[in-house]
Structure 1
Amino acid sequence: MNLFSLSIKNVFAKPLSSLLSVLLFGFGVAIIVAILLTSTFLKNEINKNAQGIDLVVGAKGSPLQIILASIFHIDFPTGNISLQDANNLTRNRLVKSAIPLSLGDSYQGYRIVGTTQDYADLYEATLAEGAWFGGEMTATVGATIAKNLEIKVGDKLASAHGLAEGASGHEEHPFTVVGIMEPTGSVMDQLILVSVQSVWEVHAGHEAHDHEEGGDHHDRMQLERLNLEVTKEQLENEDITSLLLTYRSPMAAVQLPRIVNGTSNLQAASPPYETARLFNIIGVGVDVVNMLGLVIIVLSATSVFIALINSLKERKYELAIMRSMGASQLKIFSLILTEGIVLTIIGSFFGFLMAHVGFMVLTATMEQIQSDGMFFVTDEYYVMLGSLSVGIFASIIPAFLAYKSDISETLSKA
């Protein structure tokens, strides 16, 4: 029987003690790995959903709230901005492109976004069937919504005012579903896209914005950067929730936010800055949980140490017999050290498995998150090395005591 096989046999000879050590070690590793998976996943999701957006402009208020509402659709907007102000901003030479968003309505808890085709292009969304929204009161539905609510092309959707499920509705102005999107793995899967003009139509009640009865105030105006065709009356009286901007040059990153914030009605929010601030806010909690994981790993290392010391006391005679039969001191040292490493490896494997399976179960229950939980991050290798180092450190003293044990003294007391 080789050294490794003998070590495994000795570990399983004390099942309760070994199980305690494995569970403690596993829980400590699982906590740290779960934090790594969650933080890495969130950062990847944030980067994916904020791609191509240099600046978000909304109503005065919290910049972080503007980012959460306009990019991730997980908060309430700070208010609306006038179409006239939005139009003036898009004419700035520092702005390369702008995508309007009109928020505030929902359908069975899913958010309806008034926007343009550019918003879908931003996430490289494609159609599974049907066509893109375009005409008034038409809608293109995200893949997750279509699957969960069994929505088909041609269905009518009566929107509700507000973003909470069960809010008062606009049954008199339903949207007609003209298309279903392919899954994108982004926030787009959770949205219903309609035109900005459709949002105005719903909120205007019985006023028909597309009726052109004559008069200069009904002349069509093309807002090229926003891809909106509106009347002069709409330009003066209608509003949107926010603008997603891209810069024309690096200089815009310095100048444009200052220009926007200098406007009395507008607030600029930088996605990279605000998401970094968000991670700083939640970073304290992450650090606390990581410390908890480290404490548990230290406790588990102590458990491994105690288990090996107790095992050494009980097996003094056995080890002395092995020495008398020709086993070297180095072999005895290696045997005890290997037992500690075996406990560490089993505990670490249990911890990694528990973290990944737990993350997979968690993401499966949250439809806003799309992940199989079986992805790995680079820092996990450092956790592996760290846990192995802790196990070796906890095993060295018992192994050294076994190495220094006196054969004759042990056998004479047997």
Structure 2
Amino acid sequence: MKRINALTLALKSLRHKPLSTAANLVLMAVGVAMMSFVLAASQQLEEKALRDARGIDLVVGAKGSPLQLILSSIYHIDIPTGNIPLAAEAQLRQNRLVKKVIPLALGDSFHGYRIAGTTPDYIAHYGGELDRGEMFKAPMQAVLGAQAAAGAGLTTGSRFVGSHGIAGGGDGHSDAPFTVVGVLKPTGSVLDRLVLTPVESVWQVHEVAHGIDPDDKEEKAAMDEERELTALLVQYASPLAAAMLPRAVNSQPELQAAQPAFESAKLFRLLGVGVDVLRGIAAIMLLSAALSMFVALYSALEERKTDLAILRTLGAAPRKLMALLLVEGLLLASAGAALGWIAGHAALEILGRLASDGQNLALTGLYVASSEAWLIPVALAIGLAAALLPALRAYRTDIATTLSH
């Protein structure tokens, strides 16, 4: 008699009941897909959020929600809390507890990509490098992040006008066009989604919109006294600043200090509740897959008791029959896990493309989270556990009793 191959017999057995096999594969795949999706998405978001906030110890802006100030000034996914006097920047620069101050002037966008008035220090902070063109040197010049340039279809030499608001549906400032002088290389940070220009550009756009004549010295002097910024990104000069500076800023009637580390932790806690719920649902799906696989293998064993007894009479050792059931469980689990992992990352890639179209935090299905490493072993363990009792029954198959029935 030919040597009995457990893998070959297991494959034939699974093909013999395609509906049951497909149902078990789907259950396992859905559970693994959900778990893979949640793990990869949550880790990506956390890493991107930490990277965007790295090196920024404090955000100074108008009174309001600290979390809103962080979301609008660091991640650029919310509206600002308001404006602050330009004098606040000079005040912070003169403070010995402050190492660096980066100004931001926000309010307009182009095709949904936020126009951020700032300085070259902001680009340097995120390690931005020019892909082509040069850095802005004068008002109404713009340098685009890689994603913004590709999404808006702009390159060096292009001219465009911004619109009021961050959604891209506001009134256009047709009298104050920008000229693209440079495009940055991809950085994987918030920089990729921004249109960057000198702070003076933002002021000039709104002065033109309000009919201010830039050649009128009296009007210009009056405007200079009312200059405002949206936020200031601050880097501490010493650990002492963490204890003293936020309190000093918050004591001023027009200013608010928000600490990115604290607010980001609060945001992650809020998101963590939803992530834990999804993980729980995925775990339930995996347990359902294990139960379904157990029922299928146990039922198949009852139907194949005579076949297994005949195999024994043909020379198959009890351990071979046990191996047959275990291999079936492993095949179902590994195939379901592989399909689920691919499906989870495919769904994440689709979501990432949709999110990218909306200029939000970009996600990609090509990212593999470190915590996903345990998914395949867990799936295989589930397959083995589901097949263990049927396998033990197969091992203990009594030839005489089974064939006598």
Shared topology, TM-score over 0.5?
yes
Match of 1:375 in 2: 367
Note the C-alpha offset of 1:107: 1.7
Q: With the length of structure 2 as denominator, give the TM-score of the two structures.
A: 0.93
Note the C-alpha offset of 1:78: 0.3
Task: Give the AA of the match of 2:289.
Answer: S
Q: Measure, in 2, the Cα distance between the counterparts of 1:208 and 1:19.
A: 73
Partner-residue secondary structure (3-state), 2:243 = helix
Please say if 1:155 is aligned against 2:158.
yes
Task: Give the AA of the match of 1:303.
Answer: S
Match of 1:83 in 2: 86
Q: 1:147 to 1:257 in 2, by over 3 A?
A: same
Match of 1:321 in 2: 310
Task: Give the AA of the match of 2:288.
Answer: L
Kept after mapping to 1: 8 A contact 2:89/2:101: no
Deviates more, 1:281-290 or 1:175-184: 175-184
4+ aligned runs moved over 6 Å, structure 1: none
Q: Measure, in 2, the Cα distance between the counterparts of 1:265 and 1:382.
A: 50
Paired residues for 1:111-130 under 5 Å: 111-130=114-133
Please say if 1:390 is aligned against 2:382.
yes
Match of 1:9 in 2: 12
Q: Measure, in 2, the Cα distance between the counterparts of 1:87 and 1:348.
A: 58
Q: Measure, in 2, the Cα distance between the counterparts of 1:376 and 1:109.
A: 29
Q: Measure, in 2, the Cα distance between the counterparts of 1:152 and 1:135.
A: 18
Q: CA RMSD in A?
A: 2.0
Q: Measure, in 2, the Cα distance between the counterparts of 1:35 and 1:213.
A: 58
Deviates more, 1:182-191 or 1:192-201: 182-191
Q: Measure, in 1, the Cα distance between the counterparts of 2:386 and 2:371.
A: 23
Q: Measure, in 2, the Cα distance between the counterparts of 1:371 and 1:89.
A: 36
Deviates more, 1:74-83 or 1:349-358: 349-358
Paired residues for 1:153-302 under 5 Å: 153-205=156-208, 206-207=211-212, 236-302=225-291
Q: Measure, in 1, the Cα distance between the counterparts of 2:21 and 2:253.
A: 67
Note the C-alpha offset of 1:185: 2.2
Partner-residue secondary structure (3-state), 2:233 = strand
Per-residue CA shift, 1:52-82, capped at 9, x if unaligned? Answer: 2111111111111111101111100000110
Kept after mapping to 2: 8 A contact 1:136/1:197: yes
Kept after mapping to 2: 8 A contact 1:308/1:336: yes
Q: Measure, in 2, the Cα distance between the counterparts of 1:154 and 1:341.
A: 60
Q: Measure, in 1, the Cα distance between the counterparts of 2:95 and 2:259.
A: 18
Kept after mapping to 2: 8 A contact 1:364/1:371: yes
Match of 2:65 in 1: 62
Q: Measure, in 2, the Cα distance between the counterparts of 1:372 and 1:67.
A: 24
Note the C-alpha offset of 1:168: 1.1
Match of 1:224 in 2: none
Kept after mapping to 1: 8 A contact 2:71/2:78: yes
Q: Measure, in 2, the Cα distance between the counterparts of 1:235 and 1:96.
A: 26
Please say if 1:354 is aligned against 2:343.
yes
Note the C-alpha offset of 1:346: 0.8
Kept after mapping to 2: 8 A contact 1:84/1:236: no
Kept after mapping to 1: 8 A contact 2:249/2:257: yes
Kept after mapping to 2: 8 A contact 1:54/1:247: yes
Match of 2:292 in 1: 303
Kept after mapping to 2: 8 A contact 1:34/1:355: yes
Match of 1:412 in 2: 404
Q: Measure, in 2, the Cα distance between the counterparts of 1:144 and 1:208.
A: 35
Deviates more, 1:136-145 or 1:16-25: 136-145
Task: Give the AA of the match of 1:168.
Answer: D
Q: Measure, in 1, the Cα distance between the counterparts of 2:374 and 2:318.
A: 32
Note the C-alpha offset of 1:371: 5.2
Q: Measure, in 1, the Cα distance between the counterparts of 2:113 and 2:337.
A: 41
Task: Provide the identity percentage.
Answer: 43
Q: 1:305 to 1:213 in 2, by over 3 A?
A: closer
Task: Give the AA of the match of 1:316.
Answer: K
Task: Give the AA of the match of 1:253.
Answer: A
Gaps of 5+ in 2: none
Kept after mapping to 2: 8 A contact 1:18/1:343: yes
Q: Measure, in 2, the Cα distance between the counterparts of 1:154 and 1:404.
A: 80
Task: Give the AA of the match of 2:397.
Answer: S
Kept after mapping to 1: 8 A contact 2:28/2:340: yes
Note the C-alpha offset of 1:255: 2.0
Kept after mapping to 1: 8 A contact 2:41/2:363: no
Gaps of 5+ in 1: 219-230
Q: With the length of structure 1 as denominator, give the TM-score of the two structures.
A: 0.91
Kept after mapping to 1: 8 A contact 2:92/2:101: no
Paired residues for 1:332-347 under 5 Å: 332-347=321-336
Deviates more, 1:73-82 or 1:352-361: 352-361
Deviates more, 1:360-369 or 1:171-180: 360-369
Task: Give the AA of the match of 1:196.
Answer: V
Q: Measure, in 1, the Cα distance between the counterparts of 2:314 and 2:285.
A: 40
Deviates more, 1:106-115 or 1:24-33: 106-115
Task: Give the AA of the match of 1:43.
Answer: E
Partner-residue secondary structure (3-state), 1:180 = strand
Deviates more, 1:46-55 or 1:98-107: 46-55
